[in-house]
Amino acid sequence: MTFLPSRNRRQPARARFLLGRLSLALLSLTAAPAATLAADAAMVINSARQPLHEALVELGRQTSMELLYDPALVAGKTAPPVAGRLTPQQALDRLLAGSGLIAVVENGKAVIEREPDNLDAATLSAITVTARRAEDGTTEGTGSYTSRVTSTASKTDLAFREVPQSVSVVTRQQIDDEHLTSVSDALAHAAGITVQRAAYNSYNFFSRGFQITSMQIDGGAPLALGAYTYDGAQDLAFYDRVEVMRGASGLLGGMGDPGGIINLVRKRPLAEYQLTMEASAGSWDNYRSMIDATGPLGFDGRLRGRAVAVYGNSDSYLDDRHSESPMLYGVLEADLTRDTLLTVGGSYTKTRERGYGSGLPRYADGSDIGLSRSASLTQPWALATGENKQIFAQLEQRFLDRWKLKLNYTQERRNMRSTTAFGYGAIDPADGSGSSWGGGRYVMDNEQTVFDANLSGSFDLFGQSHEVLLGADWQRAEGRWNTGKPADNWQVPVNVFDRNAWNPDLNVPLTLRYDPWGQEQKGIYGVLRINPTSRLHLIAGARMSRYKFFQSVSDRPDGASAWEVSSRTDYEEPTKTTPYGGIIYDLNDSWSVYASYSTIHKPQGLLKSGPPPGSSLTAIKGKSYEAGLKGELMDGRLNATLSLFNVERTGTGVVDPRYPESSDPWAGNCCYQAQGKVVSRGVDLEIGGEVTPGWEVALGYTFNNSKDKSEGTVFSTVTPRHLFKLSTAYTLPGSLSRWRVGGNAVVQSSTFVSGAVYAPNGDATPYKFAQSGYAVVGLMAQYRFDPSWSLTLNANNLFDKVYYERVGDAAGGNWYGAPRNWMLTLRGTY
C-alpha cells in the first residue's frame, strides 16, 4: 500500500500510527469484492451533510472502495455535502475539506491520515481539488449558511473580514432549506433588511431607515431597483446566493442612498455532471417544479453549460389571485485559454397573473376596518401578462499571475400588458363609504442596460503585498408606459364589506403616455488597499459619477390622434466625486477591528420646488460612518460581525405647505422643499455559518434609531427599532443522520404611519396608527431517503400570526402577511 509522503519526514511515528494502534479499522464497505479503481476514474457521487464516519461509509459503498483509517481521527467531525461526477480522490478531498485530514487513493483503497505540517510538492499534487471554484464564494454544494468570500462590496473576491462594512449572504443551502423562491423571500431572511410590499407583486427593501435603490448581478454595474425598472421578484432557481452590503454604497454601486446594495450571484456551470430535480406542492394550490442540469459539453471540459427550467402555478391566500410563470435560464462557460474565461447566457420568464388590488383601506381615523386576510379589493377579470428577457456576457482575463481584467454586460427587457381593478379611499366609519373603483388598461415596456469593466491586481512594495482596483461602469434605464382609463373610473363606490362587481368598458384608447422615462449614470472608480504590516490594512477609494434623469409625459383627449406633451423633466448632475476610506486591524488570526467612512449623493430630479410647475431639487448629500469587530472562525466556516453605524444626510425633499400638492411618482411632484438633517444610528450584530458540526445558523439583530432633526420626529416610521432574524438547520447525529431539522423566525418591534384624510371642503382628519411588535416563526423537517433523494416539509407562520406585511395609509396600501401555510418538496440530485 502506498502512503502519502510526510511533510516533516516523521516516518517512525507514522508507522506506529498505522501499525501500532489496536483501533486501526479496515472497512470493507461493499458486499461484493472491491473493484480496482484508478484515482482518475470519475463516477456519480452523492453524499449528504452528515458525520464524517458515516459519509466515508456511504462513499465506500458508492465507489466499492476500501478505506483505511483510525476511527479516532474522524470522531466528532462532520462532512459537507458532496455531489457530482467525481473521481474517488476528488470525492474524498471534498469530504475531508477543513477537517485536517488528507487521503490518497490507489488500487481501490484509500488511506486517511492527519494533514502534515508542511506540504511538499508530492503531497500537493496528490490532494489537488478540482471542479469547484470555492475561492469565488460559490455556496452551492457547501451545505453552509455563509460564504468564505464576497464580491458585493469590492468587485473582487474578498473574505468578509477584508470588507470594512456589514455584509450578509443568503446561501444556496439556506435557500433550499427554507424554500425561498424570490429575491424578496431571501431578503426577508437577511439580517437588518426590512421588506415591504409595494404593490400586488413588487417589493421595496429598507436598511438602516433608508430604501435600497440599487441591485447588482455578479458584482457588475448597478441596476436601478424599482417596481417599473428592476424588481425583487427574480426567481432564485437561477442564482447561487444573494448578498447584501448595508451602509453607503456609492463607491461601487453608483449614486444612491446609504441603505446599502444587493448583489445577486448567478449559478455557473459545474465541471462535473449534475442533475437536480424538484417538485413542490403547498397551501392554496401552490405547485412548482424545477430541473437543473449542468456539466461539461466538450473540448476536454473547457466548455461547460447549465440549463434551469422552472414552472410555477399557484393561487393565493388573497381572493381572486392566481399566478402562472414558466421560466428558463441558460449559461455557457468556456476556457478560451488557460487564462481567459468567457461566460454568456440569458433567461426568459413569462408571467400571467390574475388579480391586482392595492391593499386594504382603513377608516378615516386610521382604525382597522376588520376585513379578513383573504379580502382583496379587485375584480376577477383583472389580468396582467408579461415577459422578462435577460442576456449577459462576462469576460475574465488573467495575466502576469496577479492581475485580472473583468468585463460584465447585462441587458434586461420587460414588457407587461394589463387590465386592472382596485379599490382605494379611506372609509367613513358612519356609513362605510369613501372607497371607489379605479383601474384601466396599461401597456408597459422597459429596458435596462449595464456595463462594467475593471482591472484588479496586486503589487509588492516595502516587503508587503498591496492591491488595486480601477474600473468604469455605465447604466441606462428607460421605460415607456401607456394608460387608458374607463369612463366611470373612480365613479363607482366600493362596498368593502361585501365586494360589489365593477365591469367597466376597457376597450378604451390609450390617453396618457410616459415616453421616455429613464435615467443614465456613468462612473469611474478606484480602490487602493495598502498593507503597511501583515495586520494593518488601509483602504482608500473614490468614484466620479455623472447622472442624468429624463421624462416626458404626453396626453391626448379621447378620439384625438396626436399626442401633446403635458410635462417634461430633464435633470442632469455635473460630475460628482464620492470618496471612501477604511481601516482594518487584525487582532489575531480570527478577529479584526475596522472603521469606514463614505459619502452620500442621491439625485432627486422628480421632486420639484415651487412655485408650480417647479424645478428639480438639488441632490441629497450626507456621510456614513461605521466601526466594528469581525470574526472568521471554525476555519472560515463561521463569520461574525458587530458594527456601530452613524448616517447623516441633508436635503431630502418634503412637502412644501405653501403650495398645492400634486403627486405623480413618474411625472414629477410639486411642490417640495429641502429637509434639514436626518440622522440614523444603530447597532448590527450578525453570526452566520457552522456553529458546531452539522449545525448551521444565520442570526442577525439590528437596533436602529432614525431622527428628522429639523422636525424632532422619527424619520423612518416603517423601520422597526429592533429587528431580529434567525434561520437554522441541524443534521441529527448518528443513526438519525438522515434527518435534518430547522426553523426560522422574524421578530420586530412596533412601527407606525401618520397622515391626514382631506374632505372635499378641505377639512383634514388626522390619523396615526401603529402595528404592534410581532414574531413570525417557521419550521423545517427533511428526510433523506438515500444519497440522491430527500423530502422536505416547510411550515411558515406556524402560529398563524395576524400581522401587516405593509402598513400603508388610510386610503389603501395595507397588506396582511400570509396566514399559516405549508410546502412539501421532493428533491433529487444525481
What digits encode the pLDDT tens for the residues 495-518?
Answer: 999 999 999 999 998 888 888 888
**Location of C-alpha cell 401633446:** 564
**pLDDT greater than 90 at residue 568:** no
CA distances from 78 to 94, 141, 391, 406 (A): 12, 14, 40, 37
The confidence band for 36, taking pLDDT boundaries of 50, 70 and 90, is: very low
Classify residue 20 as left (phi > 0), alpha (psi -120 to 50) or beta.
alpha
CA–CA distance, 793 with 136 (Å, rounded to integer): 31
Which of 128, 16, 7, 25 is closest to 69 using CA atoms? Answer: 25
The more confidently predicted of residues 62 and 786 is 786
Candidates 210, 194, 167, 222; CA nearest to 647 is: 210
Is residue 32 helix, strand or coil?
Answer: coil
Instruction: Give me the pLDDT at residue 627, please.
Output: 97
Give the start-end residues of each E strand in 28-165.
43-47, 50-51, 66-69, 78-79, 82-86, 101-106, 109-114, 149-150, 158-159
Lowest mean pLDDT among 176-180, 186-190, 360-364, 569-573: 569-573
Contact criterion met (CB below 8 Å) for 273 and 44 = yes
DSSP H stretches of helix in 228-272? 250-253
- Sequence-ordered list of residues with C-beta below 8 angstroms from that of 31, at least 6 positions apart, any chain: none
Instruction: Give the highest mean pLDDT range of 16-25, 27-36, 252-261, 327-336.
Output: 327-336
The one-character DSSP state at 175 is H
Residue-level pLDDT at 8: 34
CA 376 to chain CA centroid, Å, is: 29
Residue in the structure block whose three cell numbers are 429575491: 183
| The three three-digit cell numbers of residue 226, written as one number | 424599482
Q: What is the pLDDT of residue 12?
A: 37
pLDDT (tens digit, 9 = 90+) per residue, 80-135?
A: 777 656 778 878 888 888 788 888 777 678 888 888 765 443 343 333 333 333 45
- Alpha carbon distances (Å) from 659 to 151, 251, 655, 670: 46, 37, 9, 8
Q: How far apart are the first and last CA of the chain?
A: 32
Lowest mean pLDDT among 433-442, 655-664, 782-791: 655-664
Q: What confidence score (pLDDT) does residue 38 get? A: 45
In 3D, which of 492, 495, 424, 373 has the Cα closest to residue 757? 424
- Range list of β-strands (E), 531-563: 536-555
User: 324, exposed or middle or buried, with CB in 10 Å at 0-12, 13-18, 19+?
Assistant: middle
> Rounded mean pLDDT of 161-184?
94
List, in order, residues 6 or more apart from 359 with CB less than 8 Å away.
197, 806, 808, 812, 813, 814, 815
On whether the CB atoms of residues 523 and 545 are closer than 8 A, the answer is: yes
In this predicted model, which residue has the larger pLDDT, 653 or 217?
A: 217
pLDDT of residue 264: 93
- Residue 487: DSSP 8-state: T
Tell me if 706 sits within 8 A of 715, measured CB to CB.
yes
Q: What is the pLDDT of residue 70?
A: 81
Q: Which residues 6+ apart lie within 8 Å of 827 measured at CB?
A: 176, 276, 277, 278, 789, 790, 791, 792
211, 180, 174, 219: which is closest to 195 by C-alpha? 211
Which pLDDT score is estimated for 142? 85
Amino acid residing at 402? R
Is the preceding omega at residue 81 within 30 degrees of 0, hence cis?
A: no
Residue 221 has pLDDT above 90, yes or no: no
Q: d(Cα 316, Cα 201) in Å, to the nearest integer? A: 12
Rounded CA separation 723/686 (Å) = 12
State the Cα–Cα distance between residues 65 and 799, nearest whole angstrom. Answer: 48
* pLDDT at residue 5, rounded to an integer: 31
Q: Which stretch of 113-117, 132-136, 220-224, 264-268 has the lowest confidence by average pLDDT?
A: 132-136
Tens of pLDDT, residues 787-801: 889 999 999 999 999
Strands 214-217 and 260-266: parallel
pLDDT at residue number 381:
94
Range 692-718 average pLDDT: 92
Percent of the chain with pLDDT over 70: 88
Query: How far apart are alpha carbons 492 and 442 in whole angstroms?
Result: 20
pLDDT at 675 over 90: no
CA distance 693 to 711: 52
pLDDT at 766: 82
pLDDT in tens, 334-373: 999 989 999 999 999 999 999 888 889 999 888 899 999 9
432: left (phi over 0), alpha (psi -120 to 50) or beta: left
Confidence at 29, pLDDT banded by 50, 70, 90: very low
Q: What's the pLDDT band for 565 if we cut at 50, 70, 90?
A: confident
Q: What average pLDDT does the chain have?
A: 85
Give me the mean pLDDT over the 264-287 stretch: 94
Predicted pLDDT at 366: 85
Summarize the confidence of residues 253-263 as an average pLDDT.
79
Mean pLDDT value of segment 682-700: 94
Q: Tell me, what's the pLDDT at 16?
A: 36
Cα Rg of the chain, angstroms: 29
**How far apart (Å, rounded) are the C-alpha atoms in residues 394 and 408?**
5
Q: Which three cell numbers stand for residue 686?
A: 450578525
Of 44-48, 174-178, 345-349, 541-545, which range is least confident?
44-48
Counting every residue written for the chain, the total comes to 830
The predicted-structure confidence for 591-632, as pLDDT tens digits, reads as follows 999 999 998 888 887 788 878 777 888 888 889 999 999 999
The predicted model gives 571-587 an average pLDDT of 91
pLDDT attached to residue 113 = 85
From the list 254, 160, 116, the residue with the least C-alpha distance to 548 is 254
Which pLDDT score is estimated for 185?
94
Question: Quick check: 430 pLDDT over 80?
Answer: yes
CB 30 within 8 A of CB 61: yes
